[in-house]
Structure 1
Amino acid sequence: MFRRARFAVLFGVIFLVILRYYTTTRHSILDVTEGKTSGPWREEWGHPIKTKQSKGANDTVHDESDEYVNYLRVLHRKHGFTNDVPVATRRIKAKYSKPPLKARPSLAQVKNPLFKDPLGFTRARLDSDNIWLPAHAEIPPLSLPIARTGPRPSSIDASSLLFGISTTYARLTYANNALLSDWAAWLTDGRGSSNGAGLVLTLHGATESQVKTIRDELHHLGIDVTLTASAEGETDAGGRYAQLVQQMMRQRHREPDRKWFALVDDDVFFPCMGRLLSRLQKFDTSETHYVGVPSERADWVIDHGTAITYGGAAIFMTAPMLDTSGQLLCLQYTKTSGQTGLADEEDPGVGMAWDEGLSECLARNTPDIKMDVLPGLFSPTTANAQTNIDDVQRGGGYASGALPLALHRYRNYHRFEAGKGHAVTSACGEDCFLQRFLFKDGWVLVNGYTLTRYDGGVTAEKVTVQTPKKKSGGADSKGAVKPSERLRIVDAEDVNPKERYALSWKGKKKTWRLLDARVKENGEVWQAYVNRRGGGNTVGGDMDDRRPGDIVHHAEEEKSDVDSVILLIWEGEGEK
């Protein structure tokens, strides 16, 4: 009887272990890059984990190895890595061009390899007490060329800007407050204090408790916010942004130093606030100016060779323009109808997008005022239209080496956590964000986005983009487009320079996507790039939950049966 009882207990234990294994949630890279399992930048590193001081013939354990191991285990707990994880690390130091280049090249070619002996991948069992890491402290950091000494977030004064956003509590709290963390990247100094920019925020249909929760979180992040709630069903999106115009008109009289008043969608990201401010300085703020900053190709409508944009959900107005807009009847909402009176032609029962409604209202009532356009990432005037379209649809917009002025729909379209990618600017300035590097050993880094290895080698070919001459009345014979007469394109070539580099390769490639980024007190920025088992940056099979428009997965990806991690550690101060 006693023996049977022992067998029954043993069988029960085995059953529970098997049940736990098959019911444990395993996260895909889409979960990770949507921020569902990650926290804000300033999250604690956790308690230090001491590794045993044992070593192999070619390995040495240093004090800093404890920090590497601790960070890896934090990532392991949060993101569900396989226990057996190949890990590679590389310390990096920025080296700035002397004198600074006028424009950032689309590719920086590095004469040195990214990894060389004794660097490379080390297999680590993260559930083991012993983890052997190479002697990283004895390897000099790799200097990477940075084209320009762009400002760091801590040195930017954005007090001339006041932003207005209308959104919902559900959107802001989704994925562990992911959007709020992204806002902190461009509305603060990166150290928990405001960079001077103000935010007027309305939460549609929010309760008093929800308003307080969001207000407290924004203040904790260091964002200067004025927050109100709009009643559920009170007005449409156009009406809510019309309300914002009225609120911002009142606030500008209380804050006379504000020069620019911006209406933006909640999923717009400004990675280069210093550069944005310098572009806006070209306009006289005592005059009436209305500036759009479209980003994606989807922010443009191209019809019969003519391109038009409504601003890409990022509209900047001077104070005179703000006053002019606020006095127009077509931008007045009524609580009775819940509409601004501007309806979508295809669906009259639904109000049109707020930026389109604003544009149409101004076109009807102020026909002499044109929109000045600062292309954020895509500009139809700098190349053959079809080439430009294909470039963005393949994800080339982020991976092309362009320095974006604005990003739009970056999470939904590309599964890109821009706030984490932007963290590296604390170490090397905003000009190094998404900068593309080609290393001697065939690795390509798109800083803050991806790190890719080409097993058959990779070559770079210079491509000079000629701005085609446009014929009157529409596109030329090469398919180029011209902007609408209601637009004035400004600084298009600054976003998409004429001289670019296209990459070609042979064989398979393997891509590691940015998973996490941390800014340390000493100014270092730690970036963790991950390649998930199964290849293509997904777990494959039924767990592949890609959505339409998710273009970061590729059939030619080299497959692997384990997760692997690359840590890039940017030192705090680069070589001047």
Structure 2
Amino acid sequence: MPSRRHIITVTSSISSFALFVFILVVLGLRYTARGSGADVASPPSLPEENNIFSGYGEAKSRCPSEAPWLNQIRIDRPFQYARRDIILRPNRDLARKSVTKLDEALFPDFQDISEGDNHLASSTCLEPLRLEVPAWPETYPDASHVIFGLSTSMARLEDSLVYFQRWMSFTKARVIIVVTGEADIMPKHSDMRDLERRMRQMGMHVTLVRPMEEGMPMEMRYFSLVKVLMEHRDGRTEWAVFMDDDTFFPSMREFINTLNDYDASKLVYLGAISEEWWAVARYSFMGFGGAGVLLSVPLLELVDRHYQDCIDQSGAGAGDMRIYECIRWYSDTGLQHVNGLFQIDLHGDRSGLFESGRKIVSLHHWKEGWWDEGQLGTPRPGHATWFPMDRMNVVADVCAECFLQRWQFGDDLVLSNGYTIATYPNGALSKFERHRGLEKVEETWIKPGVIKGANNPGWDHYLGVMRPPLELEHEKIQYRFLDAWKVDGGVRQFYHHFGVNGSLDTVMELFWIREENWKVGKTP
């Protein structure tokens, strides 16, 4: 029988060993923090699900007498102005519709807002509008089984932070970014680590790496993501996503739901062909990179095994084409086209797509053409022409999948949430509905490339039979998205129309708020 002293000695040894193991574990966690995402910021709390239906009774319109927030919008005064509160109620049995028709008007009468005056006339106030929307989830989506890869420069990445944050943060999605230099000067390691740290503090599970080889051309950097994503995948990874730095996912939850329709244990190649038939005819039935190229891990492994052979054989000038070639050469796997992924090979005014009510899972080319799409106002340089996707999409924080969802009010107004409020003068919408239908996409952009002898006039293979564009300012008046921000438990959203023929500019405001956050007497 062991003595008491022996027991104490053994116990002390066990305690010392346990302490030693604990120290090793801690050091190991610190060592693996960069790869595991342990230093990624924690998500902010979300409302509890059981609070969703705890309304505050029949709230009366707040009808504020002053609107000091108008000082925050960058529109010259005087302008015409109208506003409306929208109270949102979740309905678990309601599916997202392309368009929901309502008999009532959206806005009251307009009033003039002059310099230094934010007073609101009571005569221009309407009771809050109550809308039912599909029930919103009360947790952040879990995308830990997806790894994203892209290649871009430090400067472009810095400019894109708030846009990446909009869809990426707190989703556990892992993102590997191959960072290139400017004018062949590679960024410093310290600068890369600093940017990586800032992105992680914004809730993004990001790792920044250098190119496999300095001086690699763009198409090779894109294809090299095969190796990069293979190196950084972990035991949870089921999907690898190749994207551009101007690819935007309006809803990570909707993207994950899309992936759930496919079996990631098999060889699966997902993506979207171009909306333009000319591009499909030229580049083949492949996944176009800006919409996102999605490979199951087994298919990623297959491409990785043949990586060097594919490099040696290919002369393609684009990385997405090289991925397509490699899959075609070494497997029988064909592209499965996914509706909702959009390459956006549409040039000029893309209103027709964004006003179509279609659910957009991914979109490309948002860094061009926003402000001057409708040929109204003064063209703006640089970033001011980008689609402000981070603010256009913020309304989704209070109504989940409602971004770009449409509501028709009466016979002459359609709201495409986060994009435009469009009015149709002189009964144009009624005529338009009888002869063309809101279910068809309006062809507002530049005509497609011509393929001699083709039966497809340009877009039918993806967007269906199109309808001709309406004449702006005559058949359709667009109030374009201007700005939005979160405030008082809701989202304040603005739309703007330039005055024509000497008339004032017009600003429309919508204040979106969930029913449980609507409190009687509190000014929004």
**Alignment pair present for 1:257 and 2:228:** no
Q: 1:528 aligns with which of 485, 494, 501?
A: 494
Question: Residues of 2 paired with 1:301 and 1:282: CA distance?
Answer: 27
Q: Aligned partners of 1:137, 1:208: CA distance in 2, in Å?
A: 58
Report whether the alignment pairs 1:402 with 2:358: yes
In the alignment, which of 236, 253, 262 is matched to residue 283 of structure 1? 262
Amino acid in structure 1 at the alignment position of 2:227: Q
Q: Which amino acid aligns with 1:258?
A: T
Q: How far apart are the structure 1 equivalents of 2:206 and 2:345?
A: 37
Partner of 1:125: 114
Q: Does 1:517 align with 2:484?
A: yes
1:343 aligns to 2:315 (yes or no): yes
Query: Residue 412 of structure 1: SS of its match in structure 2?
Result: coil
Aligned letter for 2:397? Answer: S
What displacement does 1:530 show? 1.7
SS at match of 1:437: strand
For the pair 1:163 / 2:148, whether they are aligned, the reply is: yes
**Which of 275, 281, 291 does residue 303 from structure 1 map onto?**
281
The one of 74, 86, 90 equivalent to 1:92 is: 86
Distance 1:124 1:112, change over 3 A: same
For residues 97 and 502 of structure 1, do their structure 2 counterparts lie closer, same or farther at Cα, with a shift above 3 Å needed?
Answer: farther
Q: How far, CA to CA, are the matches of 2:286 and 2:277 in structure 1?
A: 6
> Given that residues 151 and 244 in structure 2 are in contact (C-alpha distance below 8 angstroms), is that contact kept between their aligned partners in structure 1?
yes
Q: Aligned to 2:368, which of 406, 412, 427?
A: 412
Query: What residue in structure 2 maps to residue 16 of structure 1?
Result: none
Which residue of the partner structure matches residue 83 of structure 1?
A: 77
Question: Is the counterpart of residue 361 in structure 1 residue 326 in structure 2?
Answer: yes
Structure 2 partner of 1:72:
70
Q: 1:109 aligns with which of 86, 98, 101?
A: 101
For residue 393 of structure 2, the aligned residue among 422, 446, 449 is: 422
Answer whether contact 1:302 1:308 (CA < 8 A) is retained: yes
Aligned pair 1:374/2:338, yes or no? yes
Letter in structure 2 aligned against 1:283: Y
Question: Considering only aligned residues, what root-mean-square deviation do their CA atoms show, in Å?
Answer: 3.9
SS at match of 2:484: strand
Opposite residue 354 of structure 1, the aligned amino acid is G
Equivalences for 1:452-531 in 2 at 5 Å? 452-457=422-427, 458-459=429-430, 460-461=433-434, 462=437, 507=474, 509-520=476-487, 522=489, 524-531=490-497
Letter in 1 for 2:172: G
CA distance 1:574–1:137, shift in 2 (3 Å): farther
Gap runs ≥5 in structure 1: 1-60, 189-193, 334-339, 345-351, 380-387, 466-474, 484-491, 536-558
Is 2:509 the partner of 1:567? yes
Cα distance 1:464–1:509, how it changes in 2: closer, same or farther (>3 A)?
closer
- Counterpart of 1:41? none
Change (3 A) 1:362 1:90: same
Shift of 1:441: 5.8
Counterparts in 2 of 1:274 and 1:312: CA distance versus 1, 3 Å: same
* Aligned CA distance change for structure 1 residues 482 and 532 (closer, same or farther; 3 Å): closer
> 5 Å matches for 1:26-45?
none
Give the CA deviation at 1:321: 1.3
Query: Is 1:315–2:293 an aligned residue pair?
Result: yes
Q: Number of matched residues?
A: 420
TM-score (norm 2): 0.69
Q: After TM superposition, give the deviation of residue 480 of structure 1 in Å.
A: 9.6
Match of 2:302 in 1: 324
Residue matched to 2:383: none
**Matches of 1:137 and 1:568, distance apart in 2:** 14
Give the CA deviation at 1:408. 1.1
Normalised by the length of structure 1, the TM-score is: 0.64
Which amino acid in structure 1 is aligned with residue 390 of structure 2? G
Q: How far does residue 279 in structure 1 lie from its aligned partner after superposition?
A: 2.1
1:445 is the counterpart of 2:415: yes
CA distance in 2, matches of 1:82, 1:440: 30
Partners in 2 of 1:279 and 1:89 — Cα distance? 36
Contact 1:300 1:307 in 2 (8 A): no
1:91–1:568 contact (8 Å) kept in structure 2: yes
1:109-130: per-residue Cα shift (whole Å, max 9, x none)?
1111012xxx33222234x2x4
Shift of residue 233, structure 1, vs aligned partner: 5.1
State the match for 1:468 in structure 2.
Answer: none
Residues 451/62 of structure 1: CA separation in 2 closer, same or farther (3 Å cut): closer
Aligned partners of 2:486 and 2:123: how far apart in 1?
19
**Compared with structure 1, are the counterparts of its residues 247 and 122 closer, same or farther at alpha carbon in structure 2 (3 Å cutoff)?**
same
Q: Shift of the alpha carbon at 1:497?
A: 9.0
Cα distance change of structure 1 residues 225 and 480 upon mapping to structure 2, 3 Å threshold: closer
